[in-house]
Amino acid sequence: MAELAGVYAASHGPMIVRNWEKLSATERNGLTLAFSELGRRIRAARPDVLVVISPDHWVNFFIDNLPAICVGVGEVHDGPPEPWLHEFPHRSLPGHPALAEHIVRHAVEHDFEPSVSYRLALDHGFCIPLWKAGLDPLPAIVPVIFNDLEPPFPSVKRCFDWGAMLAQAVASFPGKLRVGILATGGLSHSIGEPDMGRIDEAFDRDCIRRFERGDPRALIDFLNERLPSAGNGASEVRNWVAAHGAAHGRGFELIRYDPIPNVYVGCGFAAWNVSARS
Amino acid sequence: MRDYWLSKLFFDLQSPPFADEFRADRRKVLDRYPLKPEVRSAVEADDVAFLAARANPYLLRFYFLMAGMPEDEFLRRIRASAPAPATKAAHG
Nearest to B92 among A58, A148, A194 (CB): A148
User: Taking a contact as any Cβ pair under 8 Å apart, which residues of chain B between 27 and 56 contact chain A?
Assistant: 52, 56
CA distance B28 to chain A (A): 23
Q: How confident is the model at residue B92 (pLDDT cuts 50, 70, 90)?
A: very low
Residue B91 has pLDDT above 50, yes or no: no
Nearest to A192 among B11, B78, B89 (CB): B78
Average pLDDT, chain A: 97
Inter-chain residue contact A235 with B83, CB threshold 8 Å: no
pLDDT score at A129: 98
CA distance A233 to chain B (A): 7
Range of the domain at A85: 3-272
Residue B84 has pLDDT above 60, yes or no: no
Q: How many domains does chain A have?
A: 1
B6 touches chain A (CB under 8 A): no
Per-residue pLDDT, averaged over B26-38, amounts to 98
Residue B90 has pLDDT above 50, yes or no: no
Q: Considering only CA atoms, which of A16, A59, A35, A10 is closest in space to residue A136?
A: A35
Per-residue pLDDT, averaged over B37-57, amounts to 98
**Domain contains A278:** no
Residue A53 has pLDDT above 90, yes or no: yes
**Domain contains B91:** no
pLDDT score at A1: 85
Q: Considering only CA atoms, which of B63, B60, B47 is closest in space to residue B87?
A: B60
pLDDT score at A278: 42
**Domain contains A158:** yes
Range of the domain at B66: 4-81
Q: How far is CA A89 from CA A8, A85, A130, A135, B62, in A?
A: 22, 9, 10, 11, 24
pLDDT score at A275: 74
pLDDT score at A171: 97
Q: How confident is the model at residue B11 (pLDDT cuts 50, 70, 90)?
A: very high
Q: How many domains does chain B have?
A: 1
**Domain contains B72:** yes
Q: What is the CATH number of the domain that holds A115?
A: 3.40.830.10
**Domain contains B38:** yes
Inter-chain residue contact A194 with B75, CB threshold 8 Å: no
Q: How confident is the model at residue A127 (pLDDT cuts 50, 70, 90)?
A: very high
**Domain contains B87:** no
Average pLDDT, chain B: 92
Beta bridge partners of residue A71, listed in sequence order: A116, A144
**Domain contains A277:** no
- Give A173-207 pLDDT, tens digit per residue: 998 999 999 999 999 999 999 999 999 999 999 99
